[in-house]
Structure 1
């Protein structure tokens, strides 16, 4: 074992006065190398550089600070990328859940605009029998003029359904979601929060709906005689989708048929829910091929193409932009390791003098780069997971609903995102360490020991 009396035998005279840190470095390195276990040696030295590196002159702790900055850069980059992926994925899932929850996966209607499907009962039964279809709901759609008072009048779309869609039923903020009940002999109506706020509606209020009918004689509204029905507000829902909350109101199928003068079997369309969302397009094509004209089957992605295009744009652009942070952080390791090599040139020369090969030194700095990546990735993943869980629990980041269709930033965690980001980041950090590793491997022992 080495001791302090062996300094003059080990080191040149110009290094006898070196700091105790440098002596401890050389002795520890030689001891580790004498174990004849290269992996342990490289791991030992890389951990020592990572947590205990010090410079030679004044401000010795600055080198350690630079390494911590490199680790911190990787941490912040990984955390930002993981959070961006979680938020974008959350946006996609939240928007899709709202749209599908409102209009189902496929809407089966007539090619002819405003033309009802007359054979509703048989068509519903045949749709139910198709493989992959999990639910079929009849819908009667009727544009109406809704009036609460002389100053509170607006045009809306009345949807008559057997029951409120399950998603909207969960979003009822006031009252209830029943569309088939009556209060005081008047049918119930469920309206959106936007409309209720604009018209000043509350649960229990009475409103009047006017539906214009074509082909009837009369003097009213330029030859069109309106049908009139009074409703009681049963419930108020809120999806944060203004195009839905501000336009659609819900009542029973029977009332909607009466306002639209439709016979009992006729419906405006069928909302079809599928068991496997990945088969939506193929199932829609099967429906059209089976029933032919005038039956039309449109998927939710076709009906709301603009909204889903906005979501796809976020999914493709935002992670790419945020991912640049990880790339920059990884390649900052080049500067950090080059600075470390510059500060430790003498020690590297001594290691070579003690028999350490250039290949071993190269592996040492490659391990150090990977180690920085592993530590930074682990801390970044932990930071992202902590913030994501806090956001899911408390909604720390709020959003304007009119712009983002939701009130808080959505989070959808996916283990695959964490795995891919970790693998790519560690690979980039290892690749960035390759250049400094080659520089260290080419250091000449004599010149390095005399380096000032």
Structure 2
């Protein structure tokens, strides 16, 4: 019943054209606001998914690290137990240390990461090698795969270099000698076999080599490592596996999910998304003001109808509901049209790459798009809330009209 009255009021001819104009302006504002929110959130989702996929190349599903200090101790029995847990697909032992790499006169600080032979089973870094091959050498003749940023900083071609680099790492337990700082460092030759390109954070920071070499130069015990990286099966319960490993190893170890390994990054991305949502919601706030004006003028236009309905027994609640429904109708038409417009724009972007990324240095050359159902629900909920608040005040005014029928 409320919708029938609201629809009749919407399509009926008004005595003043301004009422129709303002009504359609409010609808257009909702269309623009809805389309903007969906398009921008979808593009943001595309970038977010892309960044997460790049980080997933380097970071594993779970990682065991020390609760304090830099080293963990894991024996064969513990490793075998972890490998046999439900949901665990593969694991790899790693060690990471800051190092100075030198190539002639060129030098740079890097994170030298030693990995074992199972590393390619837990990450896809080997698939991102752009030059040379993923070859980490042996303990006695170590090779390395460099990030392309480090390759550029050292001024070399990693797949063509005949002479080794010099890697300087801190001696374990050595104190700093102010008169001769180099005395507290170990120096080793490190050959290059290739370079990888994943994302700037990794490309300018990491050099991969074999774990045995790094353990030797750092003078680590056979059961000492920097961490244990774990890949899970596709449908594994991440939290259940995490809790099971934590119970096995105890409080001296931390078990981190991929999100927890990059908590700062993911938190910032979520914050950016909410800021974007808040800014674009201001368009719907503008739509709310035009809707208030439209409905207020409609209430003035329909004063006689309101009095007739009250004379026939309609309650104040019924009158108020009719005009709130009118607000929902205006917002609903705008929301549906805005959603269809957003879908059309995003489809065209994916198919024809209408808006390109400038610079040519990113992994893709156009703005990515990814639809999420929760974004549609969020936008729909926002439109409903704005429509209700905008319609509330004119509807209360309509409900407060006094019956003054004259003969």
User: How far is the alpha carbon of 1:148 from its aligned partner?
Assistant: 3.2
Q: How far apart are residue 74 of structure 1 and its match?
A: 1.2
Q: Residue 42 of structure 1 corresponds to which residue in structure 2?
A: 5
Paired positions, count: 391
Q: CA separation of 1:75/1:256 partners in 2, compared to 1, >3 Å: closer, same or farther?
A: same
Mapped to 1, the partners of 2:88 and 2:354 lie a distance apart of: 36
Instruction: Work out which structure has the larger RCO, using CA pairs closer than 8 Å and 6 or more positions apart in sequence.
Output: 2
Contact 1:181–1:188 (8 Å) recurs in 2: yes
Q: In the alignment, does 2:195 pair up with 1:235?
A: yes
Q: What is the distance in 1 between the residues matched to 2:54 and 2:165?
A: 28
Quick check: which has more Rg, 1 or 2? 1
TM-superposed CA distance for 1:65, in Å, is: 2.6
Q: Is the 8 A contact 2:103 2:166 kept in 1?
A: no
The yes-or-no answer on 1:417 pairing with 2:368 is no
2:171 matched to which residue of 1?
A: 214
Structure 2 gap segments, 5+ residues each? 175-179
Secondary structure, aligned partner of 1:226 = strand
**Pick from 77, 81, 92: which aligns with 2:37?**
81
Residue 341 of structure 2 corresponds to 383
Query: Is the contact between residue 103 and residue 154 of structure 2 (CA under 8 Å) also seen in structure 1?
Result: yes
Could you say if the C-alpha distance between residues 261 and 126 of structure 1 is closer, same or farther in structure 2, counting changes exceeding 3 Å? same
The answer to whether the Cα contact below 8 Å between 1:349 and 1:445 also exists between their aligned partners in 2 is no
What residue is the counterpart of 2:102 in the other structure? 147
**Could you give the per-residue CA deviations for residues 162-185 of structure 1, whole angstroms, max 9, x where no partner exists?**
34464434544x226623579xx9
SS in 2 for 1:238: coil
Query: Which shows bigger deviation, 105-114 or 377-386?
Result: 105-114
Would you say the 8 A contact 1:330–1:373 is kept in 2? no
| TM-score, length basis structure 1 | 0.68
Secondary structure of 1:179's counterpart equals: coil
Matched, 1:168 2:125: yes
Is this contact kept in 2: 1:400–1:406, CA < 8 A? no
Q: State the shift of 1:335 in Å.
A: 0.8
Aligned counterpart, 1:3: none
TM-score, normalised by the number of residues in structure 2? 0.75
Is 1:190 the equivalent of 2:112? no
Aligned-pair RMSD on alpha carbons?
Answer: 4.5
Structure 1: gaps of 5 or more residues: 1-37
Deviation of 1:154 (Å): 0.9
Match of 2:64 in 1: 108
- 1:248 Cα offset (Å): 0.6
Deviations 1:261-311 (A, max 9, x none): 557775432102345899656644543432347544344444434333323
Residue 113 of structure 2 corresponds to which residue in structure 1?
159
Q: Tell me if the contact between 2:144 and 2:191 (Cα under 8 Å) persists in the aligned partners.
A: no
